[in-house]
Structure 1
Amino acid sequence: MVGGKRFGSSFANAKLADSFRSVLMQASSRGEAFDLATGRPMSEITAARADRLWVQLAREFIDERWDDFAARHRQSTVDGLVTLTCGLLREGRQPPDLKMLREALTHWEFNTAARRRSAEPPVEYREALRWIAASSLPLDVIAQPDGIRAGMKAISTTLDGSRASASTVARKRAALSGPLRFAVEKGYLSHNPMRDVRVKRQQTVEAIDPRVVVNPRQAKALLDAVREIEPTVHGFFALLYYAALRPAEARAIRKDDLTLPESGWGQIVLHSSYQESGSAWTDAGTHGEERHLKHRSDRDTRVIPAHPELVKALRAHLATYELGVSGRLFVTRTGRGGHPIPAPWQNPVSMSTIYRVWARAREQALTPEEAASPLARRPYDLRHAAVSTWLSAGVDSTQVAAWAGHSVAVLMRVYASSLHGHQVQAMRQIEALIESSEGTDG
C-alpha cells in the first residue's frame, strides 16, 4: 500500500516474488520514499529514468502509439519528435550531418513500419544513429525544468533559427508532452514535469482573414476559369464553394454519395475523406488513405444540401467522364508528362494538379491587384467563402455548423470576422439610430 492505494505484481515463480518483496522491504527499512504513481521505490524509478535516453523514450512512445495513429498523425508526431531529438543533445554536441540525422530519425528510428519490415537500418543511417545514441540527453535531465525549457526552445525555432509559428509550436508541443505522459504510464517518471514549468504560449490565430474570402461574382469567375483550364476538376472546385467541402472530402466523393435531380437542390452525404501523407506513413504503403470525417467517428456522416449550380456541375461531370474505382468522381487520369493513364483509375486526383489549376485560374479570373493579394490564395479558401456566404445570408449558425462539420463555438470563432452582411446591417442600424435621435433631447 502506497498513499492508500494498493499495488500488485505477478511473477513466474515464488523465488522471483520473494526477491522482489525483499527489494521492497529493504527500501522500506531504509526509509526510502515510494512513488505514488507506480508503488515502486524511488531508487528504482530514478534508475530506470537515468538509464533511459530521450531518443529511446521517443522510440518507445511512437512504437506504442503507431497502430492507433492515422497516417497524417504519425507523420506530424514524428516530425515533432525529430525536432526535439535534434535539439535535446548533451552539452557541446552538434550533429556532423544534421540533414542525414533528421532523415535517419524520420525514416528509421521513429518509423515503426520501417523497423517492422527490416531488422537492420539502412547502411547510410547507421553512423547517424550511433551518434544520436551517444549524444541524446538522459530522461532525468529532460525531466528537470531546464530540460523542459530546452525542449520548448527546440520546437519554437525553425531550422534556419527563426521563430516558429504558433500553430507549429502547438502541434510539436504534443510531441513533447506525449512521450512524457507515456513515461509516467511506464513508471519512468512520477509525474509529467511539464506541469512544473510555466511557458508562455503563443496566441494561435483561428479566425480566417477576411481578405481571402471571395464574393459570389469572384467565385463564379474562378469556377468558370477552372472549367476552361481543366474541366475534369470543375466539379471538384464547385464542391468546395457551393457545399463547403474540405479538399480531402471532395477527393473521396463517389457517385453513390450524391442525389442530383434534374433541377433544383440536391443532396450530398459525406462519410469519408482522403488523407495524403506519403507511403512511409500508411499501413498499406500507399501514398494516402481513406479516413473517417474530421472530428467524427468511423460511421458518422454529414449531410449537405447541393446548390442547383453544384447539381448542374456534377451532373455534367458524370455525363462526360468515366468514374474511377468504386465510383470515385475525381481521379488521376494522366501521369508524368501529361500522358493518359488507362482505366480503371484508382488514385484520387493529386493535390499538385489541384494547386496547378487553381494558380492558373486565379491569374485568369482575377485582376492583377487581386491575384497579388491573399484573395482565394488556396483552394481551401473556397470553403471559407461558402461558410461565410451561408452566415451572411442569415442561415442559422447551428445549421451552418452542421453542414460545415464544425461545432457552433468553432464556427463563430473562426468566421465571425467574415460576416460582411451582418456588419453592413449593424452599421445601418447604428446610422438609423443616430439619425432618429438628432434634434431630440437626452
Structure 2
Amino acid sequence: MSKLAIGESSLLSADHVRALLEWLQEESSGAVFPFLAAMAGTALSPGEAVSVRVQDVTLPDGEFGEVLVRAGESRRVPVSPDVVGVLRRWIDEAGLEAEDLLFPAERGGALASSEYKRAWRRARQAVLSPDEVQAGLGEQVSSLRDSCLDRWLEAGVPAWGVAEWAGVSESWIALRYPHRFRLEDIEIDWEHLEESLRLPGIPER
C-alpha cells in the first residue's frame, strides 16, 4: 500500500465532523468556527482557506454556492447549502466587505494557525473519546480536508471531479483513498460488458 494512503479508520466520520463543529460553534470565537466549517465542506487546505476573500465566494441562499481558490492554478469548488448559510451569517455579523479576507483575525490580518489549531485541540479533547484521541483521530486540522474528499467520493463524485475540486491529480486521489476503489465493491454489468466487447464477425453462441 502507498505511504500516501489513509485508512478508513483514520478518517473522521460525518458524525465526528458535525459534533466537532457544533462544539466549535458554541465554544470558539471570531472566524475560527466559520473557517473550520468552510474547510469541512470545501476540502480547502488551511493555507488556501486563510487567503480567501469575500469577493471569491458566491453564496446563494439555500443553494450550492462556489468558492474561487486563487492559490496555484485557480479552481472553483462547490460550497454546500449548510456552509453557505454559515458563511452568509458570518459575513453579515463581521461586517465584511468584498475585498476583505473572509476569515480575518480579530485584530486584523490573516487568521493565525495558532488560533484555529488551539481551538481544534480543545474540540478534539471535548468531543472525541479518549481512545480516539489517543489513536490520533483528527489530530491535524487538515483531517477536515481528508474527510470531505472521502465523503465526496462516497457520494459518487467521480475521482476526476474530486481531483479537480481538490487541486490534485486523479492518481493522488486513488493513492490517498484506496478503499474507495476496491474492485469487489463495484457492481459490474457483465452482460453489458460482454456486448460492448463483442468482436465483429464473431457469431453469438
In the alignment, the residues of structure 1 paired with residue 26 and residue 154 of structure 2 have an alpha-carbon distance, to the nearest angstrom, of 30
Structure 2 residue matching 1:331: 3-state secondary structure? coil
Query: Per chain length, whose mean CA-contact separation is higher, i.e. which structure has more relative contact order (CA < 8 Å, sep 6+)?
Result: 2
Q: Which residue is equivalent to 1:405?
A: 167
How far apart are the structure 2 equivalents of 1:270 and 1:257?
A: 7
Partners of 1:325 and 1:311 lie apart in 2 by: 16
C-alpha contact (below 8 Å) 1:212/1:377 kept by paired residues = no
| Match for residue 103 of structure 2 among 318, 321, 330 | 330
Structure 2 SS opposite 1:327: coil
2:75 pairs with one of 296, 302, 327: 302
User: Quick one: which of 224, 228, 237 aligns to 2:26?
Assistant: 228
- Structure 1 counterpart SS, 2:139: coil
Q: Deviations over 1:207-258 (max 9, x none)?
A: 2243331111111001111111214211111121111000001100111011
In structure 2, relative to structure 1, the CA distance for the partners of 1:324 and 1:226 (3 Å cut) is: farther
CA RMSD after TM alignment: 2.3
CA distance in 1, matches of 2:22, 2:43: 18
Q: Is the 8 A contact 1:212 1:375 kept in 2?
A: yes
Where in structure 2 are the equivalents of 1:78-117 lying within 5 Å?
A: none
Contact 1:241/1:383 (CA < 8 Å) preserved in 2?
Answer: yes
AA of the residue aligned to 1:262:
D
Q: Deviations over 1:285-315 (max 9, x none)?
A: xxxxxxxx2xx3xxxx110110111101111
Shift of 1:427: 5.8
Q: Write the letter of the residue equivalent to 2:13.
A: N
The Cα shift of 1:349 comes to: 0.6
For 2:130 and 2:97, locate their aligned partners in 1 and report how far apart those are by CA, in whole Å: 37
| Equivalence for 1:395 | 157
Query: How far apart, in 2, do the equivalents of 1:350 and 1:221 lie?
Result: 23
Gaps of 5+ in 1: 1-202, 273-292, 334-340, 430-442
- The answer to whether the 8 A contact 1:324-1:331 is kept is no
Give deviations 1:317-348, integer Å, cap 9, x for gaps. 11111338931021221xxxxxxx3xxx2x21
Whether 2:199 is the aligned partner of 1:426: answer no
Runs of 4+ off more than 4 Å: none
Match of 1:218 in 2: 16
Answering whether residue 174 of structure 2 is matched by residue 376 of structure 1, we say no
TM-score (norm 1): 0.40
User: 2-side partners of 1:256 and 1:428: how far apart?
Assistant: 41
Establish whether residue 366 from structure 1 lines up as the match of residue 128 from structure 2: yes
Offset at residue 379 of structure 1 (A): 0.6
User: Where do residues 28-427 of structure 1 align in structure 2 (5 Å cutoff)?
Assistant: 205-232=3-30, 233-272=32-71, 293=72, 296=73, 301-323=74-96, 326-333=99-106, 341=107, 345=108, 347-417=109-179, 419=180, 426=184
Alignment CA distance shift 1:384-1:209 (3 Å):
same
Give the total of aligned pairs: 186
| Identity, % of aligned positions | 28
Query: SS of 1:401's equivalent?
Result: helix
Amino acid paired to 1:401? A
When normalised by structure 2's length, the TM-score is 0.83
> Radius of gyration: which is bigger?
1
Q: Name the amino acid aligned to 2:75.
A: R
Question: Residue 33 of structure 2 aligns to a residue in which SS?
Answer: helix
Structure 2 stretches lacking a partner, 5+ long: 188-205
Counterparts of 2:139 and 2:105, CA distance in 1: 23
